[in-house]
């Protein structure tokens, strides 16, 4: 783990993502890149939504800085959100709005 972007979202690095995701009962990962305009617009939405879903662990991963993560998850577009439970992928989707993120989170919590 490399840094906490706020109290609700932790930015993971290439060496720490596996352990963090394996320890989490339910985790959501925002996969982004610094050059990606839609990612930059989605980031505050993700961070705000994290404050509303306290029973879910929220993480961010820079797709370019984490090649091992890219080998684990197929990332067709950015921004991309992936749900994990104890290190296993549950669901993934390209999202850009808070409403879409909330629907995704509610669907994951129900399953």
CATH number at residue 36: 3.40.30.10
pLDDT, tens only, 7-31? 689 999 988 899 999 999 999 999 9
pTM of the model: 0.91
pLDDT, tens only, 60-72? 999 999 989 988 8
Q: Which two tokens stand for residue 24?
A: 């989490």
- Rounded to the nearest 5°, which phi and psi values hold at 30? -90, 115
Domain range holding 93? 3-110
Of 79, 77, 85, 69, the residue nearest 100 (C-alpha): 79
- How many domains does the chain fold into? 1
Q: Residue 2: its pLDDT value, please?
A: 44
Please give the Cα distance from 109 to 111 (Å, whole number). 6
């Amino acid at each position: 783990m490399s840094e906490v972007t706020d109290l609700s979202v932790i930015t993971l690095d290439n060496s720490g993502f596996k352990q963090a995701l394996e320890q989490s009962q339910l985790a959501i990962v925002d996969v982004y890149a610094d050059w990606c305009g839609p990612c930059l617009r989605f980031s505050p939405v993700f961070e705000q939504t994290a404050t509303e879903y306290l029973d879910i662990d929220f993480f961010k991963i820079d797709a370019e800085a984490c090649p091992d993560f890219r080998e684990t998850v197929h990332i067709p577009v950015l921004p991309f959100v992936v749900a994990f439970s104890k290190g296993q992928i549950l669901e993934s989707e390209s999202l850009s709005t808070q409403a879409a993120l909330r629907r995704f989170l509610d669907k994951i919590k129900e399953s």
